[in-house]
Structure 1
Amino acid sequence: MDSGLAKRAVRGYGQPIMDTADLRIALFSGNYNYVRDGANQALNRLAGYLLDQGAAVRIYSPTVPKPAFEPTGDLIGVRALPIPGRGEYRMPLWLPRKVRQDLKAFAPNVVHVSSPDPVSHEAVTWARKHELPVLASVHTRFETYFRYYNMAWAEPLMEAFLRRFYRRCDALVAPSESMAQVLREQRMNYDITIWSRGVDREVFNPGVRSLDWRRSHGIGDDEIAIGFLGRLVMEKGLDVFSDSIDALRRRGVPHKVLVIGEGPAREWFESRLPGAAFVGFQAGADLGRAVASMDVLFNPSVTETFGNVTLEAMACALPVVAAAATGSESLVEDHVSGRLIRPGAVHQFAEALRGYVESAELRDRHGAAGERRALDFSWDRINRAVADTYLRLVRRKPGRS
């Protein structure tokens, strides 16, 4: 598609054509750059794309003295407190007068909220008062977190809370069709489109695999490395991962575990995986090398709405064993590029892993299929879809002059 055509949208018959450069987006995030995760990296990429297209973007998010990375765009700090039990994350509390004045002076024509926190609630109220369209992006399945902290009884309450929040928005974007379907079934909103995720093929590709790097972490050339990639927090399915590895070990299947990531549950995870190679947080080219140096990715999480780690592993030509849940279901084709297993089915996970450990031909065939699938995910094309959604909402609800 022609790039000029791709970014143009007609506001209505007889009205001037509006394009991406005319957008003024106020973006509200609970974590834009102070802790690195897939959601905020996607938001920063989106902001970069919009700025490159000539749009104005202003971000409102909690800030810390030493963030994980520099923000893309103008970042305005909002007041926040550490979340109890998860002090690395902060809860935005309210929009003080100074921030409201900044928001008014910026004069957005669309508001984007990316987390259902108190500040985003205020932002939605502000936008509705000024008859501005609101787009909400869904990045994680918050309601599922309670399962990992012995509070499953609270899941319906959280789902009701989320429904109230998302129904006040004009539209939602979800990172996968499987997640969009979940949101429809939960009656979160009736206007839901896809904002997928891209992968940087210069960073994630099979050519950056390094036997020297593997050896430096105690992984022999002939050992099959089963990888985990992500923040080390319980909601990533660390218990299912470690139980499945235990089951594989009891079957007498030789393997090595490679863990990429940091988080508050690292000590617990290390105690459950004796002999595993924990390489800590990796970024950029180092991350690409670490992922490509696995032999299979094991992702048992059910909280992802897309599964960035799954796509990154596929781009490195790795087969993926994943929970049959939102995100992974939209990426992995069962028995073609990996295995999709019922969430929590430890023994089935172990058997799927065993197949890849014992068959180089299966690893190669499914890894190649995954790499072909990863070629579909271009960041510019994906972020252009969000810009088109903004334009559609502005056309439908032009707001006050």
Structure 2
Amino acid sequence: MTETIQAKRREQHITIVSETFPPEINGVANTLRHLCQGLMQRGHRVTVIRPRQRHESKGSVAGAGRGLFSHEHVVTGLPLPGYADLRFGLVRSSRLRRLWKQDRPDAVYVATQGPLGVAAVTAARAMGVPVCSGFHTNFHRYSRYYGVGILERLLCAYGRWFHNRTAVTLVPTRKMEQTIAAMGIKPAGLWSRGVDCGRFSPHKRDHALRAEWGLNANDRAVIYVGRLAPEKNLRMAVACYERIRGLHPQARFILVGDGPLRRQLAERHPDYVFCGTQRGEDLARHYASGDLFLFPSKTDTFGNVVLEAMASGLAVVAFDDGAASEHLRHEENGMKAALPRDEDFVDSALRLADQPTLLNRIRAQARLDALELDWNSQIEQFEQLVFNQPAGVGYHGINKQSISIL
């Protein structure tokens, strides 16, 4: 009987709606890549709806050969203000209803809360299709980093309206569940993240690459991986590295990624090593060739790079939020500081730079712990949360006993 139920579950048809998707590089796109791959491997039929990306022409054929989905529907895409390399999607909900009448999904998962997400939720509710959402990005908190902090309350209200129209909002950490509860978003389901420890591994350390960075065998590579943007709190990373360099002049700061702050940072700090965007095996080599990983963000809902750094055998310094709050144990497999305590963040990094024994012990334990964070268990949890939802209702119409509540 159990085998029959599992076989039936593997045949579900799910539609993933997102305004960002691979090959774009960001935490949401990375998460969706693993989600789609995992669902396909478990026998589900996956349809993706996304905006046309900036490298695609209107008549171009979508990359159906990526193995991430069974079908893909591309809608009009326009640049996202402040993130010109990303798009938001524009589509009428009536178009989605026509599409789903021809090929009705068993469930819809909306990963982003832009116009495309709104249209998808509206269409699903109208048709009685179960629809869930994901809280992947703290857009309301980003506003203060772009000079429009006055909009934060408005963005919070919008997020509350959007997510409460779905059956459940998936969050990656327990702290994020508390955050969205304070915003008035209920209920929440815990869906965390995994890491590919085959791709990200200490064995991919590249001594030739470290030599290109100007490092000798015992010199410290202080590394940051992510978007070079205001909301990532790079000011903290720079201040931290400068303190380290004051005591260890041979240390180098390695920044992997791109974004609106790159030019400014490069002009002010020409001695920093800017590696640009890296993908695949090249990204894995860059991680593994570092020593001490700085993750200064206070706005990320999770921070996949924390797990990737752990898997690569790096000593992570982060604030007690997102992935760090869930997976780092202070002075055991990483270092973490309370959100208001910037000086503790710096002190933790300085300790790692000054104490090779502590650094090496933490790096080894981080790798061991990352080996337990596989994606398979997270895909199974996603199935349980998304494929067991009531159809076409928001929060006030839900039987709370039917879902996993944090």
Please tell me whether the aligned partners of residues 226 and 295 of structure 1 are also in contact (alpha carbons under 8 angstroms). Answer: yes
Q: 2:213 aligns with which of 212, 217, 236?
A: 217
Distance 1:65 1:256, change over 3 A: closer
Deviates more, 1:213-222 or 1:176-185: 176-185
Q: What is aligned with 2:398?
A: none
Q: What is aligned with 1:328?
A: 324
Q: Is 2:268 aligned against 1:268? A: no
* Deviation at residue 291 of structure 1 after TM alignment: 0.4
Q: 1:347 aligns with which of 332, 343, 347?
A: 343
Please tell me whether the aligned partners of residues 195 and 382 of structure 1 are also in contact (alpha carbons under 8 angstroms). Answer: yes
- DSSP 3-state at the match of 2:388: helix
Matched ranges for 1:145-164 at <5 A: 145-164=142-161
Q: 1:42 aligns with which of 28, 31, 46?
A: 31
Please tell me whether the aligned partners of residues 107 and 131 of structure 2 are also in contact (alpha carbons under 8 angstroms). Answer: yes
Please tell me whether the aligned partners of residues 209 and 289 of structure 1 are also in contact (alpha carbons under 8 angstroms). Answer: yes
* Deviation at residue 344 of structure 1 after TM alignment: 6.3
Matched ranges for 1:1-400 at <5 A: 8=5, 18-21=8-11, 23-33=12-22, 35-64=24-53, 66=55, 70=66, 72-73=68-69, 74-95=71-92, 98-190=95-187, 192-250=188-246, 254-343=250-339, 345-393=341-389
Distance in 2 between residues matched to 1:362 and 1:387, nearest whole Å: 40
Deviates more, 1:43-52 or 1:199-208: 43-52
* Deviation at residue 273 of structure 1 after TM alignment: 3.3
Distance in 1 between residues matched to 2:100 and 2:354, nearest whole Å: 58
Please tell me whether the aligned partners of residues 27 and 58 of structure 1 are also in contact (alpha carbons under 8 angstroms). Answer: yes
Deviates more, 1:107-116 or 1:366-375: 366-375
Please tell me whether the aligned partners of residues 321 and 339 of structure 2 are also in contact (alpha carbons under 8 angstroms). Answer: yes
Distance 1:259 1:333, change over 3 A: same
Deviations 1:43-65 (A, max 9, x none): 12212222222222211110136
Q: What is aligned with 1:13?
A: none
* Deviation at residue 104 of structure 1 after TM alignment: 2.4
TM-score by length of 1: 0.88
Distance in 2 between residues matched to 1:169 and 1:31, nearest whole Å: 20
Distance in 1 between residues matched to 2:353 and 2:269, nearest whole Å: 18
* Deviation at residue 115 of structure 1 after TM alignment: 0.6
Distance in 1 between residues matched to 2:370 and 2:4, nearest whole Å: 24
- DSSP 3-state at the match of 1:298: strand
Please tell me whether the aligned partners of residues 31 and 62 of structure 1 are also in contact (alpha carbons under 8 angstroms). Answer: yes
* Deviation at residue 250 of structure 1 after TM alignment: 4.7
Deviations 1:277-323 (A, max 9, x none): 11221111211111011111000002222211111111122111112
* Deviation at residue 7 of structure 1 after TM alignment: 9.4
- DSSP 3-state at the match of 1:112: strand
* Deviation at residue 345 of structure 1 after TM alignment: 4.4
Unaligned segments of structure 1, at least 5 residues: 10-16
Please tell me whether the aligned partners of residues 51 and 77 of structure 2 are also in contact (alpha carbons under 8 angstroms). Answer: yes
Please tell me whether the aligned partners of residues 238 and 269 of structure 1 are also in contact (alpha carbons under 8 angstroms). Answer: no
Distance in 2 between residues matched to 1:352 and 1:36, nearest whole Å: 29
Distance in 2 between residues matched to 1:249 and 1:195, nearest whole Å: 39
Distance in 2 between residues matched to 1:78 and 1:96, nearest whole Å: 12
* Deviation at residue 164 of structure 1 after TM alignment: 0.9
Please tell me whether the aligned partners of residues 300 and 344 of structure 1 are also in contact (alpha carbons under 8 angstroms). Answer: no
Q: What is aligned with 2:59?
A: none
* Deviation at residue 88 of structure 1 after TM alignment: 0.8
Please tell me whether the aligned partners of residues 54 and 87 of structure 2 are also in contact (alpha carbons under 8 angstroms). Answer: no
Please tell me whether the aligned partners of residues 131 and 166 of structure 2 are also in contact (alpha carbons under 8 angstroms). Answer: yes
Distance 1:66 1:116, change over 3 A: same
RMSD of the TM alignment (CA)?
Answer: 2.5
Unaligned segments of structure 2, at least 5 residues: 57-61, 394-406
Distance in 2 between residues matched to 1:201 and 1:252, nearest whole Å: 31
Please tell me whether the aligned partners of residues 257 and 275 of structure 2 are also in contact (alpha carbons under 8 angstroms). Answer: yes
Distance in 1 between residues matched to 2:358 and 2:233, nearest whole Å: 25
Distance in 2 between residues matched to 1:36 and 1:273, nearest whole Å: 25
- DSSP 3-state at the match of 1:78: strand
Distance 1:6 1:78, change over 3 A: farther
Distance 1:216 1:247, change over 3 A: closer
Deviates more, 1:270-279 or 1:117-126: 270-279
Deviations 1:145-202 (A, max 9, x none): 0121233232222111101111111012112222223222322112x22222111111
Distance in 1 between residues matched to 2:341 and 2:247, nearest whole Å: 16
**Percent of counterpart pairs with the same letter?**
28
